[in-house]
Amino acid sequence: MGNKKFQLKHAPIIALNTLALIVALQVVAVTAQYFSLQSSIHKAIDNVERRIILDSAFLDVGNKTLNTPVNQFAIYRYLERLNDTLKQKGYPILVKGVQGIETNSEDFSLYSHAISSTFINAEQEITVSLRSKTAFSLLTFSWGAFLASLLMSPLFSITNKNPATKVLEEAIPPTPKLIINLQDKTLSNGIDDKVVTLQNKPLCFYTALVKYCIEHPGEPLPPHKDVPPELLALANKSFGRLIELGHTKRKRPDFNANLDKTLSEIRAALDEVFSSFNEEKETYYPPRAQGEGSRSKQHSFAIPLVKDEDIEIIGN
């Protein structure tokens, strides 16, 4: 009888705790889901833009210098093939037009966010119109968080009248994270006040290097060979973003030239930013060459440990 009274007395508390945990864990799950989707959308945009940059050499987009028109039929066919591939791979993005030629064969009603980009190849500027889904439209109810809250609620109700608050208020030790700010042209670690400003070339190259190494884990980057085209495309895209932000009007630099100097400037900036976090710094540090002769030929300045969750790029 006493046990039944205890259960009846604490039933409202358990119910409130369960509701609080469901709401709290759903908020955590949806927030994590949102930032993960946002990152996936940005990565998809980068991949598509890089694909178009590489394909532009073989795509008949006309030539202002030679006064040749855009081949509309070729553009239509290219957009149809590209969008079919994007849909098959589940990309949250479609390409609406290239060089002012827009496709009418796609339904963009679910792709509400419009994105316009401009690339510069060896001959002229190429404009691209993209449409992407929003992270909010892709959010879903987390059944995992719901089941976890049901399992956790009775345990917390026994020892604490307000367990949800206790769970949310538990202190998590801060972990440094690389923050690349294209708006301020700075690097920082997200914890202390160490902020270092980088020049345009090393900033753009390092931004591209981090993205490239995340997308190509384990792929070496020998300093005695030319920089891969995909990495150059990412660096040129970052430089174009600096132009959009009003930081420079200069001609884009040659990212293959003076590579050792560029990497040295990047390492010096990272040494300062992560001066209090030497162990964590290795995640973001382009390795130096060890030894001379045959050993130095095996050197790679790729960053093998960096992952997407380790970085934040502002103004991308």
Q: Which residue has the higher pLDDT, 297 or 49?
A: 49
User: What is the pLDDT of the chain when averaged over all its residues?
Assistant: 80
Domains identified in the chain, total number: 2
Q: Which of residues 170, 188, 223 is at a domain's end? A: 170
Does residue 141 sit in the same domain as residue 14? yes
Encode pLDDT of 143-183 as tens digits: 665 676 656 655 655 544 444 444 444 455 678 999 999 99
Q: Is pLDDT above 60 for 306?
A: yes
Taking residues 238-255, report their average pLDDT.
Answer: 87
Q: Is pLDDT above 80 for 186?
A: yes
Does residue 153 sit in the same domain as residue 19? yes
109: exposed, middle or buried (C-beta count within 10 Å: 0-12, 13-18, 19+)?
Answer: exposed
pLDDT band with cut points at 50, 70 and 90 for residue 92: confident
Q: Is pLDDT above 80 for 204?
A: yes
Share of the chain above pLDDT 70, in %: 73
Does residue 2 sit in the same domain as residue 141? yes
Q: Which of residues 145, 170, 195 is at a domain's end? A: 170
The tokens for 135 are 């992270």
User: Which of 15-19, 39-43, 98-102, 204-208 has the lowest average pLDDT?
Assistant: 15-19
The C-alpha atoms of residue 98 and residue 79 are separated, in whole angstroms, by 8
Taking residues 254-266, report their average pLDDT.
Answer: 92
Does residue 197 sit in the same domain as residue 127? no
Does residue 150 sit in the same domain as residue 129? yes
Strands (E), 113-166: 113-120, 125-132
Does residue 157 sit in the same domain as residue 250? no
Encode pLDDT of 32-53 as tens digits: 676 777 777 888 888 888 888 8
The C-alpha atoms of residue 22 and residue 25 are separated, in whole angstroms, by 5
Domain ranges, residue 187: 178-314
The C-alpha atoms of residue 164 and residue 4 are separated, in whole angstroms, by 25
pLDDT at position 313, please? 92
The C-alpha atoms of residue 118 and residue 49 are separated, in whole angstroms, by 10
Does residue 161 sit in the same domain as residue 213? no
pLDDT at position 73, please? 87
pLDDT at position 2, please? 41
